[in-house]
Structure 1
């Protein structure tokens, strides 16, 4: 107990103790000696100035009952030890132990959910109240102020009584209830469309329920409310403030990337450029992942025995823009026998129709250095470097690429063990002609975005069973993305909902991936393409997103195949034993063809769950590895 100072107490008349009231002095002295040391106001004189004799008696009785002060019979038998004559070592041994800190209570992690998706998706439009009649200007301004000032009902009722003494018509017509005024205010605002869909409740997601309650939950469906993302992004594009911060066009080439439009994720995508492309001599667009013919301008060309400045082949990794000059980041392609120094013999050996991709030999080309597109090259993603493997002859092409060469380490890997270029996945999913017609042949605006997904509880002690999905525009600077107003909620999965079921309901996001027609600010139609550039979240959720097992599994990393025994090995070869999109897809096809027991064993050894990423339902051009980066804030 800490005694308040005399100045902090209200001034009041305190009756003085009668002469000879030794009991009061004894009480006050006992209480003072039982309290911890405080400031100068804790002296005996200050104590009598603050508390009356009756207060002292009540405090003493309470202290005795709470065992703060010893009872009289205990005082008679108490042994007083003089510590002044005890050596320091012995005094330290008799000193009381300091209080031990209490261990913190940690919440258990959420349990993984099974995958139960419904093929038939039926949405219902949620009616949002809207008042067509314009609100009185005075009522509108007053309602905004009341909401901002957090005026209570009683305060508003008193304010109305005061204002109604005036003869102004607007004041006379004020509603008597503040809720009516706020409801009228909300009715004046333009609301975003909200849709709903009934999804089943998964009892395994509710471990706190009794068995009877879990049985009841199996018979119920819950509404999943979704803010329609198409009108949401359309409303953003109609905002002059949002457009003033928005970046549109090709990726920006800078020495060091600081924004998302300066990264390879933007440069390697076809759908992020708002219809702006580098062009071939015939004015057709150059897409990332294209094989191009270009004129080599280096006198120190690595091709042996060939004259300089001759045409070479290269694969476009990304398309950039630097001071209105369009630049192509291109990986060189050579025949194995043309490399210096020569590559060691391989098993299986190189074939005459085989080309090899130089992974770390990237050159920057301008538009005028590109001679044309080379479509007669086949990418063999099924090839594996194992003894006895046969290099397949391309079905309808002259050349094939099935291996990559890294000059820095003089190593050769299968093409399957390289990260996919986003443009390659987009062409495989939507087709080249569809992308040309959608992005190049008409007006187009691209709004790449990030998606944050994570399960959480409304309170600290609540089981984390609500799945939140939020959209963050990637076309604005990092300072704008950090603002709460630019973190746009899409849906909150209800308690007990299944993660794949929630994801399967976000079909409107897939329409944005393909492109939809909207009306621009000038009243003319324009094609809107909004694709997810990355999914972010904490480590367990990101593993669920990627279709991998949780971090506590033996192979719990979603980017490599490291095991639990060597998790502390910083020299682990994450390049040779990494995870790659086409390799993971091939592993899933192989495991699916096995009997159930062998299939489960293979998935366990690879650290994969039995079903692929549920996000492929809404983002079919998804890279199951690079689309799920490590988020520093949630690692």
Structure 2
């Protein structure tokens, strides 16, 4: 709390900070260009008044897609684009919009009872930015995460239309990330004081900020996401909370931070530049290297059979192109129920079986005491992720060389000749390539793809096309 008070009362810092709606831009660089900021009332704009009616981010509405056509949709965010406020809306489908092969009699009957369908946000034209006057009116809809219908008069949504490997499919809505309105709602303040909403970026670095000095201490520090990237790059704007002492743990150390954040999540009146203001601070992103990143979301470590922070796939299946990521991803509301199952079992054997099935640790994360989506808002340090992968591939490459070639490779660090016959044969069996020269070319192609991926990964800003290019590179890997 003292850090926040210091930052807000520093004119040179406050003057560079951003406190307005999320922005829609071509090249994403700042936190306020991202969906976490745009969609959450804790960071972006929570509501807007249109024709004397108040609409909130997360509301279901009827909007005009054209002069003649009205459609149901959901307000994902209230954004700023080209200097004007717009509504970012997700399309919702009625029965006749579904592909013919998915228009079953059961869905037809459910549509007559008020059921609608989400169009997956990754699909083309699933999300659009519309003008404020395109909103017609609000509607009431219920998302059936648990298949429980509490009001027969409501519109209902239980399925999402999406594409997998070129084919239209349906998945249950429980296999999707919830809107921030559903897990991190913020009651709108009716107050005349100026309001500052802060995006807190928490880092846990097991090697410390100065890794060559604090080699064995876990360094924990925060950044204020309202600062532009140029300011966040400066060491002076990394605010140390401290180091986890020997014999202690992250959970013990972070308790005071959580206590203060709970106060700031609700609101705190502070003196800012000599004026009384309301300060609201919420956890935006947490970042840690492996395996601390998994600990912060209570997923098993990466060495386990199911140790991926993003999804619940087995280690052997992570490189498969066939699995449906949407159906195996970790979702906060799903993990909550899985942790509940772990808590109620009676024996250690049952407990181990459930944690192995879901890829979870025994207890839910201590940071869950704060309002966040544990999986979506917990990124991993990209350096540690990519460096480990590159190191593994480098070791495989070097081990495939003859002793003389190893010496040349290490000395020159540019290229290498043909690998040893035994390693080459193993590589051929893995890839299904029969000719040696083709195998070597494929090996080199792997390095080309890896290099291209790394070049994109470490960009400090992204366009939509560059995100697509990164996705393609990761797929090719």
TM-score bucket (shorter structure): 0.7 to 0.9
Which structure 2 residue ranges, 5 or more long, are not aligned?
A: 386-477
C-alpha separation in 2, matches of 1:320 and 1:333: 20
| Structure 2 contact 162–169 (Cα < 8 Å) conserved | yes
Return the match for 1:289 from 48, 58, 72: 58
Does 2:174 match 1:416?
yes
Show the counterpart of 1:513. 265
Does 2:1 match 1:236?
no
C-alpha separation in 1, matches of 2:212 and 2:25: 44
Q: Which protein is richer in strand relative to its size?
A: 2
Return the match for 1:363 from 103, 128, 149: 128
C-alpha separation in 2, matches of 1:321 and 1:257: 14
Show the counterpart of 1:604. 356
| Structure 1 contact 444–528 (Cα < 8 Å) conserved | yes
C-alpha separation in 2, matches of 1:399 and 1:276: 23
Show the counterpart of 1:314. 73
Show the counterpart of 2:40. 269
Q: CA deviation at 1:337?
A: 4.0
* SS of equivalent to 1:456: coil
Return the match for 1:628 from 378, 398, 401: 378
**Greater gyration radius:** 1
C-alpha separation in 2, matches of 1:573 and 1:346: 26
1:463 and 1:470, CA in 2 relative to 1: closer, same or farther beyond 3 A? closer
C-alpha separation in 2, matches of 1:248 and 1:447: 8
Show the counterpart of 2:288. 537
Show the counterpart of 2:243. 492
C-alpha separation in 1, matches of 2:152 and 2:265: 31
Cα deviations by residue, 1:127-169 (Å, 9 ceiling, x for unpaired) = xxxxxxxxxxxxxxxxxxxxxxxxxxxxxxxxxxxxxxxxxxx
| Structure 1 contact 288–424 (Cα < 8 Å) conserved | no
| Structure 2 contact 92–119 (Cα < 8 Å) conserved | yes
| Structure 1 contact 378–397 (Cα < 8 Å) conserved | no
Return the match for 2:204 from 429, 436, 453: 453
| Structure 1 contact 456–467 (Cα < 8 Å) conserved | yes
Q: CA deviation at 1:238?
A: 1.8
TM-score normalised over the length of structure 2: 0.72
* SS of equivalent to 1:510: helix
Q: CA deviation at 1:496?
A: 0.7
1:350 and 1:504, CA in 2 relative to 1: closer, same or farther beyond 3 A? farther
C-alpha separation in 2, matches of 1:567 and 1:342: 30
Cα deviations by residue, 1:469-521 (Å, 9 ceiling, x for unpaired) = 21111112212111101100123222111222222232112222222111122
Cα deviations by residue, 1:289-318 (Å, 9 ceiling, x for unpaired) = 2112222217xxxxxxxxx333x2211222
C-alpha separation in 1, matches of 2:76 and 2:333: 17
1:599 and 1:441, CA in 2 relative to 1: closer, same or farther beyond 3 A? farther
C-alpha separation in 1, matches of 2:333 and 2:247: 34
Q: CA deviation at 1:556?
A: 0.4
Show the counterpart of 1:143. none
1:362 and 1:345, CA in 2 relative to 1: closer, same or farther beyond 3 A? same
Q: CA deviation at 1:463?
A: 7.5
| Structure 1 contact 448–474 (Cα < 8 Å) conserved | yes
Does 2:177 match 1:406?
no
Q: CA deviation at 1:233?
A: 1.2
TM-score normalised over the length of structure 1: 0.55
| Structure 1 contact 331–363 (Cα < 8 Å) conserved | yes
Cα deviations by residue, 1:44-97 (Å, 9 ceiling, x for unpaired) = xxxxxxxxxxxxxxxxxxxxxxxxxxxxxxxxxxxxxxxxxxxxxxxxxxxxxx
C-alpha separation in 2, matches of 1:283 and 1:444: 22
After the TM superposition, which residues 317-466 of structure 1 pair with which residues of structure 2 at under 5 Å, given as runs?
Answer: 317-339=76-98, 341=100, 343-345=102-104, 351=110, 352-359=113-120, 360=123, 361-374=126-139, 376-383=140-147, 392-395=148-151, 397-406=153-162, 409-427=167-185, 435-437=187-189, 442-456=193-207, 464=216, 466=217
Instruction: Give the number of equivalent residue pairs.
Output: 374
C-alpha separation in 2, matches of 1:441 and 1:276: 16
Show the counterpart of 2:366. 614
Which structure 1 residue ranges, 5 or more long, are not aligned?
A: 1-229, 299-307, 384-391
Q: Which protein is richer in helix relative to its size?
A: 2
Q: CA deviation at 1:349?
A: 8.0
Q: CA deviation at 1:250?
A: 0.2
C-alpha separation in 2, matches of 1:509 and 1:592: 26
Q: CA deviation at 1:270?
A: 0.5
| Structure 2 contact 86–130 (Cα < 8 Å) conserved | yes
1:327 and 1:546, CA in 2 relative to 1: closer, same or farther beyond 3 A? same
Stretch moving more, 408-417 or 601-610: 408-417
Q: CA deviation at 1:341?
A: 4.2
Does 2:283 match 1:502?
no
| Structure 1 contact 404–412 (Cα < 8 Å) conserved | yes
| Structure 2 contact 310–330 (Cα < 8 Å) conserved | yes
Q: CA deviation at 1:283?
A: 4.8
Q: CA deviation at 1:446?
A: 1.3
1:544 and 1:331, CA in 2 relative to 1: closer, same or farther beyond 3 A? same
